[in-house]
Chain A
Amino acid sequence: MTSQSGVRVGGVDFEAFYRANRSALVRFVRLAGATEEEANDAAQTAFARLLQVSYHIREPMGWLCRTALNDFRRSNPRVPSRRRKVIERPIPPWEIPEPAASVPSAADVAALGEQTRGVLTELALLPGKQRQVMVAHYDGLSHEQIAELLGMGTDAVRQNLSRARKTLRKRHVMLDEDAS
């Protein structure tokens, strides 16, 4: 069961937009240092604000990321402000989400998680900024949007992306060699 409100975002029904982007937004806020609960809360609030705005938003996903991040930072005094450094805490492997509980079998879960968790673990071991830039990049945000969201220049975005790729490439080659 779901709902149809008639509200549209970027030409798409709001509910469809929510379903397609909610998880990416939660993940983005988590990478800024939020707990699962904080990230969920900030994402829900951002989507609620999106429902309330009366003006046209050209890049809804970028707007949501900014709104959710600001909301999280405002409600969490322990979090550094936008222009200060991003939390550098790597996400330990045991905090990487496990597959959903409603699954056909334990074997399926194991098969599902193995490779995915391997890559996610490598990502989690990157320094915080690199990880944030990397994930935002793969979530489709432009360098300019990432720069604005994370309070850095576009050159720094490119540099972080390049460094992250270099690290992952090295690690990936090593994994390949181990496997062969």
Chain B
Amino acid sequence: MTFHRDRPDDRDTYLDQWVKAALDAELAQMDAAFDFPAGLQDVYARAGLAGPVAVESSSDLTPGAGGHSAIQAVVDHIEMLDALLGVVTTSEKDTSPQQGVMYLRMARQFLLQLRIGLTARRLPQARAIQLVDTIAHNLTETDRILRAQQGMSLQDAVHARIGELRDVGGDLNHQAQRLREKVWRLFTDVDEPASRSPIPTS
């Protein structure tokens, strides 16, 4: 489907994307600033229940022996992806339609939030995966808009800008998928991966 700003339905879809993205960003910031273990202890105390048995959890990124390097690997991936997207968002207008650029800018904001949250070790797993999925969605939307309006894919736009300067190593969707896998592993490989069950996003 092609985006037409003059069609009411498309305008609403577009607006919804913007508002939802901002509200999700606000939640991510609130999550990153909140001490969840202390909050949970407080909830149990208010309920008059004994505090739950504390265990090392896949939902937290607590500093560990291999934790820092694993986080750094994800941060490196985020920075690589962000640099590639930055190439397109700073290109001339004729190769970057405004709607596509807006999706890209949102994707970059989410990448930044992800990096901040992971670096601060305060981002819950559910929110981290949600951020990665939103980034992937925004890249898909950008690709769709570019194809419809410019007859070129997002990958083509990146290559047009950087040429052979750099081997991207797979298309951007693939890179987003790899990022998701890395983030997922970050939470599930802390220890005893077999005992970890995914935390669904709600």
| Residues of chain B whose beta carbon lies under 8 Å from any beta carbon of chain A | 11-12, 15-16, 18-23, 25-27, 29-34, 36-37, 39-49, 51-57, 59-60, 62, 98, 105-106, 109, 112-113, 115-117, 119-120, 122, 124-127, 197, 199-202
Contact = CB atoms under 8 A, between A and B. Distances in A.
A-B residue pairs, 8 tightest by C-beta: A3-B52, A119-B22, A102-B120, A48-B46, A23-B30, A5-B52, A19-B124, A16-B199
Given A3-B55, A12-B200, A115-B22, A26 B112 contact: no
Interface of A: 1-5, 10, 12-13, 15-24, 26-27, 44-45, 47-49, 51-52, 61, 97-104, 108, 111-112, 115-116, 118-120, 123, 134-135, 138-139, 165, 168-169, 172, 176, 179-180
Contacts of A17: 202
Contacts of B49: 5, 51
Contact of B15 (A23, A49, A103, A172): A172
B40 A4 contact: no
Given A1-B62, A3-B54, A4-B57, A100 B116 contact: yes
B26 A1 contact: no
Nearest to A104: B119
A169 B11 contact: yes
Given A2-B54, A3-B51, A102-B122, A48 B40 contact: no
12 contacts: A3-B55, A15-B57, A17-B202, A23-B30, A23-B31, A102-B116, A112-B25, A115-B106, A115-B109, A116-B29, A120-B26, A180-B98
Contacts of B109: 111-112, 115-116
Chain A facing B: main interface SS: helix
A1 B55 CA distance: 6
